[in-house]
């Protein structure tokens, strides 16, 4: 989801208080896009589960779903944090050996290309696993994830991956990743970065490392 998607979503969210019928021409004029682009954005918002649409003779009826309302709250919380707090949430973790699946999933072309385009870096083909004491789901609860779309092959389907940009040891930008389907323990997180973090920082199992969720 990009900035213009969020603009479209916010316009709908703001105006559903007084109406629920919208036209693509109306939204296009407000956010500065073509009607074709708005039609595509609405399909994407519906795909993400944030809105529900129904065509009528007067226009398109659009309503926020429960997921959409929850997403709106996250936008508010993130905006509030950005405006009134200069501190980035910090996570301290201890390196541990994972299930060995990270390299396989990160290397899948359907995921890998999205990581590059959506996160802004080319990830090392593997993940670093950290065991944490602090509940990470609470830290990222008010953050808006970057969503890596799932896909289907002839053999199986692959779920979405939710990513949160981080700064590792105040030096390297990376991302926390939360697969929609995961066998990892709840106190173990996975991170990706443009370098092999074990080699970059001389890490071994038990090494301590700090991250800032940005």
Write down the domain spans for the chain: 3-69, 90-213
pLDDT in the model for residue 32: 84
pLDDT in the model for residue 85: 52
Tokens of 190: 């996975």
Percent of the chain with pLDDT over 90: 51
**Which residues, in sequence order, are bridge partners of residue 174?**
166
The pTM of the full predicted model, rounded to 2 decimals, is 0.61
Residue 164: partners with Cβ closer than 8 Å, 6 or more residues away: 140, 143, 145, 146, 175, 176, 178, 213
pLDDT tens for 7-23 read: 899 999 988 878 889 98
Tell me: pLDDT of 207 over 90: yes
Q: Which ranges constitute the DSSP H helices of the chain? A: 3-15, 24-31, 35-47, 66-84, 102-107, 109-119, 136-139, 197-201
When pLDDT is cut at 50, 70 and 90, the band that residue 3 belongs to is confident
90-213 belongs to which CATH class?
A: mainly beta
Tell me: pLDDT of 1 over 80: no
**In terms of Cα–Cα distance, which of 168, 165, 196 is closest to 178?**
165
Is the domain 3-69 a CATH 1.10.10.10 member?
yes
Q: Which of 91-95, 109-113, 133-137 bottoms out in mean pLDDT, i.e. has the lowest?
A: 133-137
Largest Cα–Cα distance of the chain, in whole Å?
Answer: 64
Strand extents, DSSP E, 88-185? 90-96, 128-132, 146-148, 151-152, 157-158, 161-168, 172-179
Q: Which of 49-53, 155-159, 185-189 bottoms out in mean pLDDT, i.e. has the lowest?
A: 185-189
CA angle (25 as vertex; 35, 55 as ends), nearest 5 = 90
């Amino acid at each position: 989801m990009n900035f213009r998607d969020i603009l479209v979503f916010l316009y709908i969210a703001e105006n559903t208080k007084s109406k629920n019928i919208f036209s693509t021409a109306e939204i296009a004029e407000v956010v500065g896009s073509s009607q074709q682009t708005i039609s595509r954005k609405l399909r994407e918002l519906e795909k993400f589960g944030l809105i529900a649409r129904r065509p009528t003779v007067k226009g398109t009826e659009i309503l926020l779903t429960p997921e959409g309302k929850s997403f709106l709250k996250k936008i508010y919380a993130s905006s509030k944090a950005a405006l009134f707090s200069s501190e980035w949430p910090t996570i301290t973790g201890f390196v541990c050996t994972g299930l060995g699946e990270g390299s396989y999933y990160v290397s899948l072309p359907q995921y890998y290309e999205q990581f590059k385009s959506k996160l802004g870096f080319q990830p090392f083909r593997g993940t670093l696993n950290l065991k944490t004491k602090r509940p990470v789901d609470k830290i990222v609860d008010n953050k808006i994830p970057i969503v890596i779309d799932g896909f289907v092959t002839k053999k199986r389907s692959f779920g979405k991956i939710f990513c949160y940009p981080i700064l590792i040891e105040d030096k390297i930008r990376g991302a926390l990743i939360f697969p929609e389907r995961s066998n990892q323990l709840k106190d173990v997180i996975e991170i990706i970065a443009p370098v092999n973090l074990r080699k970059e920082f001389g890490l071994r199992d038990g090494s301590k490392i700090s991250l800032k969720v940005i």
